[in-house]
Every structure is written in structure tokens, then in C-alpha cells.
Amino acid sequence: MITLSGIAASPGIVFGQAFLYEVEKFKVRRHQISEENVAAEIAQFKEAVAKAKGEITRIRDNVANGMSKEYADIFSAHLLLLEDPFLIIEVTKKIKDEHKNVEYALWEVLEVLSKNFEDLEDEYIRERAIDIYDIGKKILYNLVERKRLGLEEIEPGSVIVAHNLTPSDTAQIDKSKVVAFVTEGGGPTSHTAILARALEIPAVVGLSNATLQVKDGDTLIVDGLRGIIVANPSQTKLEEYTQRKREFEAFEAGLAKLKDLPAQTQDRYRVEIAANVELIEEVSLAKEHGAEGIGLYRTEFLYLNRNELPSEEELFKTYQEAVETISPYPVIFRTLDLGGDKLPYHLEETGGQIESNPFLGLRAIRLCLQHPEIFKTQLRAILMTSKYGKVKLMIPMISNVEEVRKTKAILADVMKELEGRRILFDEKIELGIMIETPSAAMMADILAKEVDFFSIGTNDLIQYTLAVDRGNEQLAYLYRPSHPAILRLLKETIEAAHREGKWVGMCGEMASNPLFTVLLLGLGLDEFSMSGVSIPEIKEIIRSTTLGEAKELAQQAFTLSEADEVEELMRDRLSARFGHIIDMTKK
């Protein structure tokens, strides 16, 4: 039995079988080929080599444009190595003389290289052999691409154990087969953690060396409440966690009674509770948990895992389904937030560049303004959907007022175009922006005059303000929503919007953390948006407090100078009444 501790990312306790997910895990099968198939196998090898050349050329050109010629020269050298006679001759010889299939022939050559290059005394030759091995793997990848172990091969009841999961990986996950995620990287606001909560799948992140200590098929207990996994548990441990699982399920069932009650304090101050979603199937789940709308519809997933852009018709149908499912409540569509950790392959292939710091690079509204035709297609689809229910538009990653004005100009063009096509839409559709950069928060008084609402994206706002990578598990201790600088930005943003008569929501993970619910109420937040599974406990806290109490707590928090002091204050004041929620949903 092995017990590992990481960061609790999505609540729940489950039991399952480990599925180690590695991108470079190959299934290389050996079989003999006939003499008549030798030419075809060699042709397949040459085709894979040519494909690898194309990939390396594209990477080299992107690096030359986005970084420096010095780095690009590394890939120029790799292109020369693709013509190295050793690799070509040895593989061809095994196919021709030994009648081995091309994948196995290449794999054998690479294995010989792998075993021998570490023993070479000449450093230059040793490094050259390593380069050949790496390039050979790229060719092998092309040859066995269709045979790679992928998430589509996962068995029901599996716990995915990975170094990390990209957004495109998680978009392939079949919830009916996956019971939990475990990753070595990531923090509580990493994309993997957010999606796990959205899908209501327990998750633990930041588990160092998990892929080395857990084996395929191991029985795992995943405790997403405390950030613990247990591999191959003893009978005593199984019984202990079976009891904990029952207690958590009873707690969740107790909160379900709040589903149809309003998020209203005891002194009748009303706020809105909405859900964050990114997959269409999450919309109905959000409604079941008592969501009064979709406060954040992440739209970028229709653009991932494909070679072509989605059509206007495809976008429209998906958005229409979301609007009709959540009706009579509203849907706030966040326009494309591609870039950062969500890479648009089709844009890469049409001129995109590798960025050295993508989270500060061409992402979200910056990318949309550089590709207005892609942006206009999405705006048309959202506007067309607006005649089927309450729809609002929200622009991510705003850092200056010029971006807002350019967006409004493009939106006006799209509206004129639809009018010309005699297509009905909501001409008074609300336009909001996300406040997730320090510059936007500091200019909230100016930006509030330009738009109809704000939604505070605390995940990025904290990351950018505190200069902390939110996906780096080694820096998780510095990622503090309770940092006094963050509280001041929140207060100033909310007050600036209210002075202009605009409402303010929050769709970052801070909105779903029960430790901060009363504080945010006291700051005047109008809407809380979160994963559907978090709605009942946040609603319970709101309904059990008063606005006067919340304002007094917020004022007291602003007298403190350290994040630890703020959190200690919250725990001292709230643990007596809400300790069971804070402990049970520990974030």
C-alpha cells in the first residue's frame, strides 16, 4: 500500500483502477512481412521520414519567427540528421533482409541506439546519437500514430494518472469511463482541476512522481477532499474510506434540498448563483444543481482537437442548445479564449508562432482582433442564438480600453451584416468584459462606462497580479486569493462598476471557495458563478448569513496586511457555523 499527498482539486471519494496516460507510449507489434510487401514497407518508412521533415521544418520556421535564429539552427541540424545514412540504411536493411515490419524495424534500431549511446566516450558522437534517437522517435510516432494508447481506449472505472493533461486531452475524456484524475503537475486552478469540478469527477493534482509510483491496473482510492491517493489499499483502509465516502454522499444529499431556493441572505439581500460550463452536457447538470443561469460558457473547446475551424452553423446549433436548455435563465458566452494552455492547431498551421510565454502572448481577445474573420463567425453565431433566449456576450483578457472599442466596432459590423441578411437577433444584447488583468482592474472606472457588466476572473487576476504561475504545483503556496493586493483590486473593481450602475459577477475559482463567500458578499459582489457541484454549499452559506455581518467581516479583513491573517479571520468567524462545509469541500 502506498499513500501519496498532493493538492485537492475536485471533491469526492472514489475507488478505481489506475490508467497511466503517457503521450509517448507506443504499441509496437512485431510481425513478419512477405517479400512482395517489402517495397510497400520501405515506402511507408520514407513517407514517415518525409512527414517528420515537414514537422521539423514548421517548428524551425516558427522558432525563427518567434524566438531566435540560434534556436532555429538546432532544428536545421535535426533536418540534416534525418538524412543520416545510419538510420535510413539500418531500418531499410531490417525490412529488406529480415522481413520485419517497418515499425518494429525502426523500434529495434532505436533500442540499439538507446542502449549504446550512453557508453560512448566521444561527447560529440554521443550527442549526435541522442539527436538521431529523438528524431527516430518522431518518425516512429508518425508510423504508429493510429496505434498510440489514447484516452479513447480507457476502460470503465478508470483513474487517469498522468504527468499532466492538456485541454485537448481532457476534451476527449469519456465521463462514463473515468472516475477520477490524478496528475503530477497543476494546481487547484489549473485547467485539469477546473474541468474535473465541471464534470463532477474527483481529482488530485500536484502529486509528484505519481506516474513512477503507480502502475497500470493498480487499485486506487482517490480522496479529492484531502488531496490524497492510496494505491493498493489494505482492507482496513478500504473500510475507512468506504465510511468516509458514505459521509460525503450524505452531506451532498443534505444540500440538495436547496436546489430551488434563492441565494438570499437572512436580511433579504439577493445575489445570483450561476454555473461555469465548457461542454454542452454540463448545462443540464448545472440546472439540476440550482444554477440560475450560465455565468461563464467557455466556447473554445469547439476549436480544439480538429484540423479545421468550426462553421457558423455548427457554433449556432451548439449555442442554441445551451440557451434552450438553461431557459428561462441567461447564458453568458465568453468569446474565444484560445492561446495560453489551449493551442489552436489550425491557427499554428496558418501562420501562428511558438511563443516563449503564451500566457502573456497572443491569446483571447488579442488573437480575435488579429483574426477578425474567425471572431466575426463566432459573434454571428452568438447573436443568431439570442432570439432563442437570454444571451449575453463577454470578452476575455481585456487589458485596455482600445480593445473594448475595437470589439464594439466589430460587433456593430456583424450586427449590420445580420440585418442585411434579415436575421433576427437581440439588438440590445448585453456586452461585458472579464476583469482578469491588473490593468483592467485598475481602469475599472473607465471600462465600466464602455460595457454593461464585469465578471472577475480571479484565476488569471491572481496569477498576473502576484506573478505566480497558477499551474505550477511548486508555487501553489504563493497563489493566495486572500492576498491583500487581490482584495483591494476586487473592492475597487466592484465599487467602480456600481458607481456606473453596472453589475459585477465572479467566474473565477474564488467564487466557489466557501471560505470567501461571506467576504465577497460584503464586498458587494452581485453574481457568483462556479462549477455546478459547488452551488449547493455556496447557496447554504449565503442563506445562513446577513449582509450586515458580511460587510463587517469585509471591513475587518481590510485592516489586515497578510494573506494568512485574512484566512485565519475567515476561519475564526465562519468555522462555528460553516466548518462542516469548509472541511468537507476543502479547496
> Quick one: CA torsion of 484, 487, 493, 499, rounded to 10 degrees?
-100
Interacting residues of 583 by C-beta distance below 8 A, sequence separation 6+: none
Count of residues making up the chain: 587
Cα–Cα nearest to 280, from 389, 196, 199, 341: 199
The answer to whether 191 is a known catalytic residue is yes
The answer to whether 507 is a known catalytic residue is yes
Q: Give the β-pairing of 2-5 and 272-277.
A: unpaired
Cα–Cα nearest to 585, from 478, 509, 525, 529: 509
Distance CA 82, CA 85 (A): 9
Catalytic residue among 31, 78, 191, 289: 191
Amino acid identity at 311? S
Distance CA 263, CA 260 (A): 9
What values do phi and psi take at 502, rounded to 5? -105, 150
Q: Give the β-pairing of 178-183 and 2-5.
A: unpaired
Distance CA 107, CA 27 (A): 11
CA-based torsion, 383, 388, 392, 394: positive or negative: negative
Q: Give the β-pairing of 453-456 and 7-10.
A: unpaired
Which residue do the cell numbers 482510492 mark?
221
Distance CA 27, CA 104 (A): 10
Catalytic residue among 31, 78, 507, 580: 507
Cell of 268: 433579504
**CA 227 to chain CA centroid, nearest Å:** 19
By the 8 A CB rule, do 197 and 533 touch? Answer: yes
User: Which strand ranges, in their side-by-side order, compose the sheet holding 178-183?
Assistant: 2-5, 228-231, 219-223, 13-21, 158-162, 178-183, 203-205, 7-10
Which residue do the cell numbers 534517437 mark?
133
Distance CA 127, CA 187 (A): 35
The CA-based angle 342-343-349, given to 5 degrees, is 165
By the 8 A CB rule, do 129 and 117 touch? Answer: yes
Q: Which residues are catalytic?
A: 191, 507
